[in-house]
Amino acid sequence: MDFAALQGHVDGVWQARILPALCDYIAIPCQSPAFDPDWAAHGHMQRAVDLMTAWAREHLAAVPGAIIEALQLPGRTPLIFIDIPAHGCAASDAPVLIYGHLDKQPPMPGWAPGRDAWTPVFEGDRLYGRGGADDGYAIFAAIAALLALREQSVAHPRCQILIEASEESSSVDLPAYIEQLAPRLGEPALIVALDAGCGNYEQLWTTTSLRGQVAGTLTVRVLDEGVHSGDASGIVPSSFRIVRQLLSRLEDPATGEIVADFHAEIPRHRREQAAVAAAALGQGLLESFPFHAQTQPVQDDLCELALNRSWRPQLAITGIDGAPRVADAAAVMQPFTALKLGLRLPPTLDPDVAAKRLQALLEFDPPYRSEVRFELDFASRGWHAPAAAPWLAESLERASQRAFGRASALIGGGGGIPFLAMLGERYPRAQFLVTGVLGPQSNAHGPNEFLHLPTARRLTAALAQVLHDAARIAHDTARGDSLSAVA
């Protein structure tokens, strides 16, 4: 394989064919069902599906046997399923499964002048707009990687591409589709997820773990209606103060450390990998966040910060009800306070057990016998990657050196991809490649989200290299052996 020619082909496809379609996709406000309960009536999700499937059909029209389907189960978000036969090698019962999603987070305020969630904007090497990096690019990159291999008539295995539309809602609809597709999926030998992050834009990063999460709403009510704060303060307990007390049961207010019940042992090799990643990133680990003025991180040790983000439980308050805006505030004691809580969990911790423990911790013995409720939204499982087979580790290094000119790197992720835990349990012998383009300042879910275009192009070429290498290995499914290199 001529990798320089392959990279040139990928760059050309990105410039001429992918970017126009990706801009059209960014302009579609296809918010995930958790943020747009009327998504079906609004039709934005279907527009995104139609755009992507039309692009896939156009670009795979010359591939014999390629199947492109838009599936729609009753009452569920749609799903795109693409099946591309093996090329230049024997068909295998153990295909490669490539994953991405097309649903989006809400726009959020705070976009810089001239930028908007639903308006694609090019600034240098960046394409701004919601969903380009998280992760609308995935279907285009996967198909472009396969087409680049076919352009040189080099081998790739059978590849199946799965693009769901409920990932930002904890993949609530995905299990039903996996069950429906199970006979066609077979048992994947390699699962590729393009929805993760990268520590920098200078090398190929592989995610080794993702955290689970328990999310829900904590509500404290002390009154049936608001009352004059001068009359009530000192007699009626503040619902906000009670919330602070309850949160202190879970989190040390001085350090942010979560109580022991929600921790898990960090494997030694993950500690070592975190130290290597922290050394490679240096201050770049901090520079990826828009700290205000002189705000400092929670501690100075970069390795410990990396472990905080990937293996330790952390609490985030992502929403609040029960208080007026500051500009509208009057001398009124509010009857209740409600907080949206997101508790990130270690990759190996059981989220269902954690959810029950969290509810009990918050609701037990409510101060002043106030009404305290914790209503669970979801509990999602984390993911811990199996050891990489030698062929895959060698392939990732080769792909990084050729596409980026630097060694590959490993990193633990702070977010979650429910799909991975689901398939990890279903296909315990599968290998995993979890990677993506969400690097420093790319700000997925927030304002000014962008796709770093050079990284997207290089990652596409790197994926092509891995798929080509996967075609050169043998898989003995009958004996249950791991993928091993063929001389």
pLDDT in tens, 139-152: 999 999 999 999 99
Say what the pLDDT of residue 472 is.
79
**432 phi, psi to nearest 5 deg:** -130, 140
What value does the mean pLDDT take over residues 227-236? 96
Q: Alpha-carbon distance 240 to 63, whole Å? A: 61
Q: Is the pLDDT of residue 22 over 90?
A: yes
Three-class SS of residue 308? helix
Mean pLDDT throughout 251-264? 97
Q: What is the pLDDT of residue 419?
A: 84
**Cis before 24? omega within 30:** no
Q: What is the pLDDT of residue 475?
A: 41
**Strand extents, DSSP E, 23-179:** 67-71, 79-84, 96-101, 121-123, 126-128, 159-164
- Return d(Cα 379, Cα 373) in angstroms, integer: 17
Tokens of 31: 């918010």
Give the mean pLDDT of 403-431.
92
Q: How far apart are CA 351 and CA 361, in angstroms?
A: 15
Distance separating alpha carbons of residues 7 and 338, to the nearest angstrom:
51
Give the pLDDT of residue 295: 96
pLDDT at residue 481 tops 50:
no
pLDDT at 486: 31
Tell me the pLDDT of the chain averaged across its residues: 94
Residues 215-237: what's their mean pLDDT? 97
Look at residue 387 and give its three-state secondary structure: coil
Contacts of 255 (CB under 8 A, 6+ apart): 298
Supply the pTM of this predicted model. Answer: 0.89
The rounded percent of the chain whose pLDDT value lies above 70 is: 97
Alpha-carbon span 225 to 230, nearest angstrom: 15
Mean pLDDT of 367-388: 96
Model confidence at 476, pLDDT cuts 50, 70, 90, reads very low
Beta strands 126-128 and 121-123: pairing type?
Answer: antiparallel
Provide the β-strand partners of residue 411: 207
Q: Is 90 exceeded by the pLDDT of residue 394?
A: yes
- Mean pLDDT, to the nearest integer, of 64-72? 97
For the segment 453-475, the average pLDDT, to the nearest whole number, is: 90
Instruction: Identify the pLDDT of residue 94.
Output: 77
Instruction: Taking residues 292-305, report their average pLDDT.
Output: 95
| pLDDT reading at 11 higher than 80 | yes
| pLDDT at position 93 | 63
Count Cβ neighbours within 10 Å for each residue of 321-356 and write b for 16 or more, e otherwise.
ebeeeeeeeeeebbbbbbbebebbbbbbbebeebbe
CA dist., res. 209 & res. 211, Å (int): 7
Paired tokens of 319 = 């929403």
**Predicted pLDDT at 477:** 33
For residue 474, pLDDT beyond 70: no
Rounded CA-CA distance 153/150 in Å is 5
What pLDDT is attached to residue 99?
Answer: 97
pLDDT of residue 92: 63
**Alpha-carbon separation of residue 195 from 136, 239, 360, 446 (angstroms):** 9, 39, 33, 16
pLDDT for res 89: 83
Render pLDDT for 204-225 as a digit per residue (tens, 0 to 9). Answer: 999 999 999 999 999 999 999 9
